[in-house]
A and B are shown apart, each in its own frame.
Chain A
Amino acid sequence: MSDYNFAYLDEQTKRMIRRALLKALAIPGYQVPFASREMPMPYGWGTGGVQVTAACLTPHDRLKVIDQGADDTTNAVSIRRFFQRTAGVEVTERTAEATVIQTRHRIPEHPLTEGQILVYQVPIPEPLRFLEPRETETRKMHELEEYGLMHVKLYEDIARHGEIATSYAYPVRVEGRYVMDPSPIPKFDNPKLAGNPAIQLFGAGRESRIYALPPYSDVVSLDFEDHPFVASKADHDCDLCGAGSSYLDEVITDDRGSRMFVCSDTDFCNSRQAEGHRGRLSTEAA
């Protein structure tokens, strides 16, 4: 163990963050300002998510950290180690076994359950930001539910690309009230935001904002009547486990342009392979 307080942050800071979290859960989708701390990692590496996780962790928790679905990438590994060192909590790669999951840009394939907490890392919490640069104005727009501008963005997508080309950070309306940026998860994951039994918490460190979805929230992806929302994915099966319904990463395998599609959720893919599922490029040794 280290000389740090449990989970790095001091207790007053964690209380401050918990108050913000409670407020965020009470007003689903509303961005609650909080006094974001300097963390021992650069902005953009998940400082918001780390602070939320720190405020949620208890010594009995089991933590999973993923980056784009993978447990073994730099960002995931370093955050997992950070909490192993500062909180001494158990860690796991198994979605089903985790009590707290910090994620960058994915929702795990394995369905979440009651009692689990999913913590999202959020770069830009304001869904209206690219259309309206003034913070005073976007706050006013949320206050007054002036969300026409969101549809202007989708309109522009269709006008330019023939369809809604926004494929990640796809805006949603929460409980018929606040429009929310679900963080840069692929729109494939959007349906999982709705009616989810787990608690979903969103932390933006640089922007000092926290927002949340309580369990079983009503979450609707914005769309037009004649251009309805579609949760799309690459039209392939996983080349390792053969899964046909999971979100896939495209991997270039050589200099001649050969490529393969694999599950972005490494735990999901590994579990399926362990159960004997095979894909197009599986070696029998696997």
Chain B
Amino acid sequence: MDGATLTMPLLAVEGLTKRYGSRIGCADVSFDLWPGEVLGIVGESGSGKSTLLSCLAGMQAPDTGAVLWEGRDVLAFPEAERRRLMRGDWAYVHQNPRDGLRMGVSAGGNVGERLMAVGARNYAAIRDMAIDWMGRVEIGPDRIDDRPSAFSGGMQQRLQIARNLVTGPRLVFMDEPTGGLDVSVQARLLDLLRGLVRDLGLSVVIVTHDLAVVRLLADRLMVMKEGRVIEAGLTDQVLDDPQHAYTQLLVSSVLQV
């Protein structure tokens, strides 16, 4: 739990670069993530934040750089081990719940899939676990046999989170998890995420363009522009005392309510 006394970060990213032909996806990105930390990555569309996230999560292969998980380079992992990581210690929450859920499978089956993937073979136990996790994301047990297509957008997103957290991952990647939701639904989801992060000691890399989201969730912040990290630090320090011209513009552009 105590990040200050550990000697090795959970995730260490070194010089990550991804080009699309002559265009830069992300360039020379480096950072450390310590256990229990939430790192926000902000920037406008095309800033490279989504490219960075997909390179980190192994959905795209970067051109150069290293992603060290507990000191070992994930990019050099054999496919089998990388995928085992993705359904064990890592999880990925998509912006659109349809990308992260099986829409033709019941809510219980969606939550249970990762359990069955790691060898759970007792139906009653899987179901109990699914009900427990649905409860944690505030979905009633009576909805366990309904398909996600019958759920509201906010509920689908909460189901996706339950599905990802059921196997107790230590690192969760989130791509705009509150995007596309109503403001009131967003608030509920943010509160839920904060509680889960705190109670489970999760480390999170969250990509968003919403500064209010990172203000509430993230301990640390990286600001990206044109594929590069232009400023990084404590979230409130970056937002309250931005050093870079672009960050100042970004912060001053937010409507105060």
A residues near B (Cβ < 8 Å) are 131, 140, 143-144, 146, 148-149, 151-152, 155-156, 158-160, 224-227
Complex partner residue of A146 from B83, B123, B144, CB under 8 angstroms: B83
Decide: A226 and B124 in contact? CB cutoff 8 A. Answer: yes
Decide: A225 and B122 in contact? CB cutoff 8 A. Answer: yes
**Which A residues are CB-close (under 8 A) to B123?**
155, 158, 224-227
Q: Which of B111-127 contact A (CB under 8 A)?
A: 112-118, 121-124, 126-127
**Which B residues are CB-close (under 8 A) to A131?**
102
B residues near A (Cβ < 8 Å) are 79-80, 83, 87, 102, 105-106, 108-109, 112-118, 121-124, 126-127, 144-145
**Which B residues are CB-close (under 8 A) to A160?**
106, 145
Q: Give complex CA distance A143, B80 in Å.
A: 8
Q: Which chain B residue shows the least CB distance to A155?
A: B109
**Which A residues are CB-close (under 8 A) to B144?**
159
A148-B121 contact in complex given A159-B106, A159-B108, A160-B145, C-beta closer than 8 Å: no
Complex partner residue of B113 from A144, A148, A158, A225, CB under 8 angstroms: A148
A-B contact pairs, 26 of them (CB 8 A): A131-B102, A140-B79, A143-B79, A143-B80, A144-B83, A146-B83, A148-B113, A148-B114, A148-B116, A148-B118, A149-B116, A151-B116, A152-B105, A152-B112, A152-B113, A152-B116, A155-B108, A155-B112, A155-B116, A156-B105, A156-B109, A158-B123, A159-B145, A160-B106, A225-B122, A225-B123
A224-B122 contact in complex given A144-B80, A144-B83, A159-B109, C-beta closer than 8 Å: yes
Q: Which chain B residue shows the least CB distance to A222?
A: B121
Q: Give complex CA distance A156, B107 in Å.
A: 10
CB A130 to nearest CB in B, in angstroms, measures: 9
Q: Give complex CA distance A13, B122 in Å.
A: 47
**Which A residues are CB-close (under 8 A) to B115?**
148
Q: Give complex CA distance A143, B79 in Å.
A: 10
A146-B112 contact in complex given A156-B105, A158-B123, C-beta closer than 8 Å: no
Decide: A152 and B121 in contact? CB cutoff 8 A. Answer: no
CB B252 to nearest CB in A, in angstroms, measures: 46
A151-B108 contact in complex given A144-B80, A146-B83, A159-B145, C-beta closer than 8 Å: no
Q: Give complex CA distance A138, B112 in Å.
A: 20
Q: Which 10 A-B pairs give the minimum distances between C-beta atoms?
A: A148-B117, A151-B116, A148-B116, A224-B123, A144-B80, A225-B122, A152-B109, A159-B145, A152-B113, A156-B109
A151-B121 contact in complex given A156-B106, A156-B109, A159-B108, C-beta closer than 8 Å: yes
Q: Which chain A residue shows the least CB distance to B144?
A: A159
Q: Give complex CA distance A148, B115 in Å.
A: 8
Decide: A226 and B122 in contact? CB cutoff 8 A. Answer: yes
Q: Give complex CA distance A225, B122 in Å.
A: 5
Q: Give complex CA distance A149, B118 in Å.
A: 11
Q: Give complex CA distance A110, B188 in Å.
A: 64
CB B74 to nearest CB in A, in angstroms, measures: 16
Q: Which chain A residue shows the least CB distance to B112?
A: A155
CB A136 to nearest CB in B, in angstroms, measures: 12
Q: Give complex CA distance A139, B146 in Å.
A: 30
Most buried by B among A152, A156, A158, A227: A152
Q: Give complex CA distance A160, B126 in Å.
A: 15
Decide: B121 and A224 in contact? CB cutoff 8 A. Answer: yes
CB A142 to nearest CB in B, in angstroms, measures: 12
Q: Give complex CA distance A140, B80 in Å.
A: 9
Q: Which chain B residue shows the least CB distance to A227?
A: B123
Decide: B117 and A146 in contact? CB cutoff 8 A. Answer: yes
CB A166 to nearest CB in B, in angstroms, measures: 14
Q: Which chain B residue shows the least CB distance to A225?
A: B122
**Which B residues are CB-close (under 8 A) to A156?**
105-106, 109
Q: Give complex CA distance A151, B118 in Å.
A: 11
**Which B residues are CB-close (under 8 A) to A146?**
83, 87, 117
Q: Which chain A residue shows the least CB distance to B122?
A: A225
**Which A residues are CB-close (under 8 A) to B126?**
155
Q: Give complex CA distance A225, B119 in Å.
A: 12
Q: Give complex CA distance A160, B105 in Å.
A: 11
Q: Give complex CA distance A227, B120 in Å.
A: 13
